[in-house]
Structure 1
């Protein structure tokens, strides 16, 4: 955590909150694209469309970041960073979050259904906070831990809807993939935080490495495994490529804000702020597609917001805790 003043803490909180808003928008629009041709043209395309979309999303984001880094004279430095020890840490986080975490999530949807996948995977912020506390020594008060639990309950409640398990005969396989998703996403948060802190890597460089490595692993390894080449070719020949690219800009902005928030206020707090994307996604659906608001949404959204408030707490208290830790380190 790099905050030194109340102003720094507020900046970290704002970045975390905006990362949730932009990821919510990314989720809504990418979900809309998946209901369009060529993703829905055949049963096979429907089955693998999520993973192919993730490949194009990260590819577009990587291309965007290449242009951004070149414009800011950081491209050569970013490429060199990949081959350093700190860069290797970011590469590891990239694989955990993208190909492992996201593929686990998408395969969980396939085998266990979207309701159970969204519900169970929602505990990843709590697992991430646990790892951050013990591996990165991030200090969280009892109130903050209660806030994390409340926020996770809110996310679970918001994403859950009952399903008929007879529709998913390979449910146990789905649970395996969901666990893979939870481990991947929670470790990505902690590893990224570690790499940026101890490797002194800027969020922009970490983002460039993350998206580039992720899309390369998708393209070289995962797409051939799922035989997604034909759908990839179809998308390259259609207008969908441009549309996914535009949506990917939202995802890129979201990740940059999230990484900036992690850098400033730590992995646990930044992740809890980021999961507000579920609330933002539903709000955007209401505003854009005129979806009706349910009592369920109001109740669990309030729980998520309450959880965020408890985790963030008083910025002055966060500053006080850090100063105490710094003094202890100085005594040692």
Structure 2
């Protein structure tokens, strides 16, 4: 549901507005986690999350004169994306509290459900199977498969982070992908970042680390270890 809303938003309002709006899914997820999971974040953690999200929005914000489709449909899609991605992390965190489910099993269930939903519902509804078959037989398939493997590894570690840190902190760290894209683009594509990109990347990473770190628990653990 979240990814479908994301693609719908891009198709209607473009990637810039979509990236800026969808970047706020950790804020919604953190608020939901405080209600459903009783997670508590300290004021400095909320401040770190706010700084991180603001930098993500600035990094993805490149205003355009017009939009390719319906503004209302695009905003609705972006909000569906926020609800889907934020709710996913909270539901996974809740499920992982059952001792009989670990993060690998949770991800397998998630990915299988997602694949079946796309194959049996979304692609037939949108008439997308011909395009999917064309991609499978194209020369780009090895690169796409490599990207898919990278995405699978990313999701596996994301779910491990949810299990270890909780939904709120894991989402804050997960959103740093927008910052890490900058050095990878430089190394792999030779794209030189501008000053805005470098500053936003630093703010995103530092803000996410602040949001994910419980200073009291961290120093308390260190004191126990020293003792």
Identify which of 83, 94, 102 aligns with 1:183. 83
Root-mean-square deviation over aligned CA pairs: 1.8
TM-superposed CA distance for 1:299, in Å, is 1.8
Q: TM-score, normalised by structure 2?
A: 0.91
The alpha-carbon deviation at position 293 of structure 1 amounts to 1.3
User: How far, CA to CA, are the matches of 1:312 and 1:248 in structure 2?
Assistant: 27
Query: Structure 1: 5+ residue runs without aligned partners?
Result: 1-99, 322-332
1: distance between equivalents of 2:190 and 2:25? Answer: 30
Q: How far apart in 1 are the matches of 2:108 and 2:71?
A: 36
TM-aligned CA distance change 1:225 to 1:184, over 3 Å: same
1:241 maps to 2:137: no
Query: Residues 240-264 of structure 1: CA distance to partner in whole angstroms, max 9, x if unpaired?
Result: 3333222211111111101111101
- Contact kept? 1:203, 1:256, Cα under 8 Å: yes
2:115 is matched with which residue? 215
Distance 1:108 1:298, change over 3 A: same
SS in 2 for 1:168: coil
Say whether 1:111 aligns with 2:19.
no
Asked if the contact 2:26–2:168 (Cα under 8 Å) also holds between the matched residues in 1, the reply is yes
- Residues in 2 aligned to 1:196 and 1:208: alpha-carbon distance in whole angstroms: 13
By relative contact order (CA 8 Å, sep 6+), the higher-ranking structure is 1
Is the contact made by 1:153 and 1:303 (CA closer than 8 Å) also made in structure 2? Answer: no
* Alignment TM-score, normalising by the size of structure 1: 0.63
- Aligned equivalents of 1:159 and 1:109: distance in 2? 13
Could you tell me how far apart the structure 1 residues matched to 2:69 and 2:119 are?
29
Q: d(CA) in 2 for partners of 1:232 and 1:168? A: 23
In the alignment, what sits opposite 2:224?
Answer: none
Q: Secondary structure at the match of 2:56?
A: helix
Q: How many residues align?
A: 221
